[in-house]
Amino acid sequence: MSFPSIQLIKPLVFIACLGPFAYLLYATLLDPEMLGANPVEYLLRRTGDWSLRFILIVLSVRPLRQITGKAVLLKYRRMMGLFAFFYVTTHFSIYAFLDLQLDWSHIGEDIAERPFITIGFLAWLLLIPLAATSTRAMMRRLGKRWKSLHKLVYLIAILAVSHYIWLIKKDLREPLIYAAILIVLFLLRTPYVQRKLA
């Protein structure tokens, strides 16, 4: 069975990726009761969830391509990476604008003194050069250095999962599920598994 045309599927994937943001925007502007008793906390949690999900999706593209033999999946990886950056930036913006009202001294104290915020902020900073160099022109300009730079996504994923685990005080089931998925994705990149997939 042939894979659907990328010209047909890509806009649909784009719309699907915007779906969670559209839902949160709708709830915020038109039906705040959907956000519960603490709207800012709800928005932070949901955008954080989708940030982590998109980071893991980016890491899953290569193994899925090897398992399915569908090289076309690689054509969606850049979009997934940019959406990861979009949701992480939205997550940080909600924290800075809505939670702390752009109190930069407070934000600076949080980043310096609260470890889970420190590593979350570092993950966002590391995503910036990846988003900025995601174009084909930058790939050509950087050459082999582009691949080396974009390997930062592995560190970013570790930081993102650690940020979530450190944030949760009691029920760790959900963050540990993300941690388990990340471990599996790393194992799929080991030489032994790579030889089997090849």
**DSSP collapsed to 3 states, 94-154:** HHHHHHCCCCHHHHHHHHHHCHHHHHHHHHHHHHHHHHHCCCHHHHHHHCHHHHHHHCHHH
What confidence score (pLDDT) does residue 67 get? Answer: 83
Tens digit of pLDDT for each residue in 64-86? 888 887 777 788 899 999 999 99
**DSSP conformation letters of 167-179:** H-SS--HHHHHHH
Dist. CA 113–CA 174, nearest whole Å: 25
What confidence score (pLDDT) does residue 169 get? Answer: 76
Alpha-carbon dihedral angle through residues 160, 122, 191, 183, given to the nearest 10 degrees: -20
What confidence score (pLDDT) does residue 179 get? Answer: 96
Those residues of the chain that have pLDDT short of 50 are 1
What confidence score (pLDDT) does residue 1 get? Answer: 47
Return the half-sphere exposure (C-beta side, CA atoms, 13 A cut-off) of residue 51: 30
What confidence score (pLDDT) does residue 10 get? Answer: 85
**What's the predicted TM-score (pTM) here?**
0.92
